Structure 1
Amino acid sequence: MASTAIDPVVLTADLVRCPSVTPAEGGALTLLQGLLSDAGFECHRVDRNGTPNLFARWGARGADRSFGFNGHTDVVPVGDHAAWTHDPFGAEIDGGYLWGRGATDMKSGVAAFIAAAIDFVRTTPPDGAVILTITGDEEGPGRDGTLALLDWMKARGEAMSVCLVGEPTCPDRMGEMIKIGRRGSMSVTFTARGVQGHSAYPHRARNPLHALVRLMDRLASTPLDQGTEHFEPSTLAITTIDTGNTATNVIPARATARVNIRFNDAHDSRSLEQMLRQRAQEVTGQTGVEFDLDVQVSGESFLTPPGPFIDLVMRAVEAETGLRPVLSTSGGTSDARFVKDHCPVVEFGLVGRTMHEVDERVEVAQIHQLKAIYARILRDYFA
């Protein structure tokens, strides 16, 4: 077994060269399974419904202390290939940056933790277990990714005591932010059902657009809350209003609108759905237009309360970067929304300014720095 330290930049580059656009595995998990197996990790592919996932554990199952890491190797599409300065799957290093799709989100985070974990168990084998849950479906629907791993773990008696998610968390400077929770997310489609008619005789029709616009205005102009201790105010955004009506002299029979709500811990999806249905019923009573609602929930809001685990991560980040990180719940959703039902979870990773963009890239120095932070977290946790 090789005893040299794992270079996280080399590993990041190897992963970026794997074209693992969701739901393709692209060779990324196969690469990691081989590397981890050689380092003494027990590895299992936990694929479900064609979605690739990898579980790896060093140490005994059922250990009193098990440090978990969650990440993903799937990436979003590259978009216009010709718009890229460098090959999106070339992993070229230029100007101090490693370029490529997934360089920031989040193959560098996966590489940094695996490099830190392998070095750690080789040099100072801990009294406990180190567990990795790596999915190929974070950028996709998510139904058969981290959820499949957690279901598989529960069935086999595998458990993480705590978990670190390696998503990019820093807006501008390395070390400035840790995510201790996430807002919930739900999308709602409103279908307004009226009566079609001639626009010259509106009294003979029942215009669904008038009712729908009235409802959308009320929803958009009424704040959901003023924020809570750890969360900013919840938001509601109208994302589309459609009728499919190409005629200028016809009142349509139906119209649809969609909204997306990002909500804090003052709500859950059920209470928000109840509020939306009540508002719709009020407009129905005023206009006679009926509404159907289709509600899709991506995740509930959650918070890992500040405590020993978060303090440990904060100390490690500050020791390696010189910055005292802010505890945040901002941004979109992540797979932490699934992990939080299994064990306490926090997120820390790189500066994420270029994720999902053309010319996605990561500072090479930050990858080394992230490995050092993760290594310190592991040492301190098992100390």
Structure 2
Amino acid sequence: MALDPISLAQDLIRCASVTPEDAGAMAVLTRTLEGLGFVCHAVDSATGGPTIRNLYARLGDSGPNFCFAGHTDVVPAGGTWTVDPFGGQVIDGRLFGRGAADMKGAIACFVAAVSRFLENGPAKGSISLLITGDEEGPAVDGTVKVLDWLAARGEKLDLCLVGEPTNPRHLGEMMKIGRRGSLNCKIRVFGTQGHSAYPHLADNPIPRLLEMLRRLTEKPLDDGSEHFQASTLALTTVDVGNAATNVIPAEARAGFNIRFNDLHSGASLEKWIRDTLAQVGGDIECSVEVSGESFLTQPGLLSDAVADAAFAVTGRRPELSTTGGTSDARFIKNFCPVLEFGLVAQTMHKVDEHVQIADMQALTDIYVQVLDRLVGHP
């Protein structure tokens, strides 16, 4: 019998898998997938911290290997809920719980879709699931470690669909065919502390920091590209920490985040930042961290299959988008073409997170059609 995505999603939501805890979520999936004939591998990892549970499951050993990818870890419940955040309650046609939208609901739809697909016979190639417990956290012991493990085994993925909640308001509105990159920069400007009545005897770092920030923000980074909106630089903090009114501080700090499109790389932006700071000069420390490069999966076989399936079920043809933050697709894109399509994103990370039961049923139908189009039966 085909599996019910609602019941499976409830079982997953009832596992309070707040990063880095697993709370039994991988065991629920392993048990369910093994019941469908999948061979399951626990790919646990700990890089100087708690052990992260990851799962790779595969059905079949021939190609092509079509992969569903996602994460069972969730953010903390927070706030004051009107329901148990880990209760998985169904109320008025909606499934409530932390992770319902992001993204235990989509994982349940993956598995339910596979069970329905298999009712018409075995797959012509292979179907796999790559599920991590470290997407909402540092993302160092999750998908990247499973991909490294697969590479060491000589196992490849041919196409991948990530079930992140991509639709703004209605199922079928949007898929993600790429993502912007993300860069974080911290600047420390040093001077010489002194009395505010004798500024000539001090070296105030604040004007230099302000001039650096002016130069960094005075012009747009770009005007966007074919599939990407314009890159953005957002100041996130400016700090001096000076409680005194008669003291010139010895240090001033600032931080900013850049979300960048395919006209840039992390390396090119870092060079631009450092060159801009050097033009102002002085005693400076600058640290740059790139958490993901921009990427794009060119429209084609994968996006057409998802768009056709979504249109057949919902009557909507999804917009091909690259908006939003980052996801684990930024790692998978180094291995195979990847895109994201899942549930409605309106309540993800919010109090009383929930999804429509009708959307979960429809998403399962869409995933079945994607499998029909990209995997098929002998």
TM-score (norm 1): 0.96
Write the letter of the residue equivalent to 1:295. V
Counterpart pick for 1:126 among 118, 123, 138? 123
Match of 2:190 in 1: 193
Match of 1:69 in 2: 68
Counterpart check, 1:292 vs 2:293: no
Match of 1:253 in 2: 250
Counterpart check, 1:6 vs 2:3: yes
Q: Which moved more, 1:116-125 or 1:323-332?
A: 116-125
CA displacement 1:182-225 (0-9 Å, x = unmatched) = 00001000011111111111122111111111211222232100
CA RMSD of aligned residues (A): 0.9
Taking the aligned partners of 1:124 and 1:248, their CA distance within structure 2 comes to: 77
SS of residue paired to 1:211: helix
SS of residue paired to 1:123: coil
Taking the aligned partners of 1:117 and 1:138, their CA distance within structure 2 comes to: 23
Deviating beyond 3 angstroms after TM superposition, the runs of 4 or more aligned structure 1 residues are: none
The correspondence of residues 107-256 of structure 1 with structure 2, limited to 5 A, is 107-256=104-253
Match of 1:356 in 2: 349
Alignment gaps of 5+ in structure 2? none
Alignment gaps of 5+ in structure 1? none
The correspondence of residues 259-278 of structure 1 with structure 2, limited to 5 A, is 259-278=256-275
Write the letter of the residue equivalent to 1:74. D
Taking the aligned partners of 1:79 and 1:32, their CA distance within structure 2 comes to: 26
Taking the aligned partners of 1:163 and 1:77, their CA distance within structure 2 comes to: 28
Write the letter of the residue equivalent to 2:300. G
Write the letter of the residue equivalent to 2:303. I
Taking the aligned partners of 2:358 and 2:155, their CA distance within structure 1 comes to: 35
Taking the aligned partners of 1:239 and 1:353, their CA distance within structure 2 comes to: 24
The answer as to whether partners of 2:189 and 2:285 remain within 8 angstroms in 1 is yes
Match of 1:315 in 2: 308
CA displacement 1:22-53 (0-9 Å, x = unmatched) = 00001111110011111110001000001110
The answer as to whether partners of 1:36 and 1:118 remain within 8 angstroms in 2 is no
Counterpart check, 1:96 vs 2:83: no
Taking the aligned partners of 1:261 and 1:96, their CA distance within structure 2 comes to: 40
Match of 1:366 in 2: 359
CA displacement 1:246-298 (0-9 Å, x = unmatched) = 211111111110000000000000000000001101111xxxx3221111111
The answer as to whether partners of 2:2 and 2:119 remain within 8 angstroms in 1 is no
Write the letter of the residue equivalent to 2:294. S
Match of 1:51 in 2: 52
Match of 1:337 in 2: 330
SS of residue paired to 2:268: helix
Deviation at 1:122, TM superposition (A): 4.4
The answer as to whether partners of 1:72 and 1:134 remain within 8 angstroms in 2 is yes
The total of aligned residue pairs comes to 372
Taking the aligned partners of 2:371 and 2:276, their CA distance within structure 1 comes to: 50
CA displacement 1:67-126 (0-9 Å, x = unmatched) = 01110000001113xx10111001111121111100100000100001111332343211
Counterpart check, 1:380 vs 2:373: yes
SS of residue paired to 2:374: helix
SS of residue paired to 1:255: strand
Taking the aligned partners of 1:27 and 1:364, their CA distance within structure 2 comes to: 24
SS of residue paired to 1:31: helix
Taking the aligned partners of 1:274 and 1:165, their CA distance within structure 2 comes to: 32
CA displacement 1:322-365 (0-9 Å, x = unmatched) = 00111000000000000000000011011100000111111111
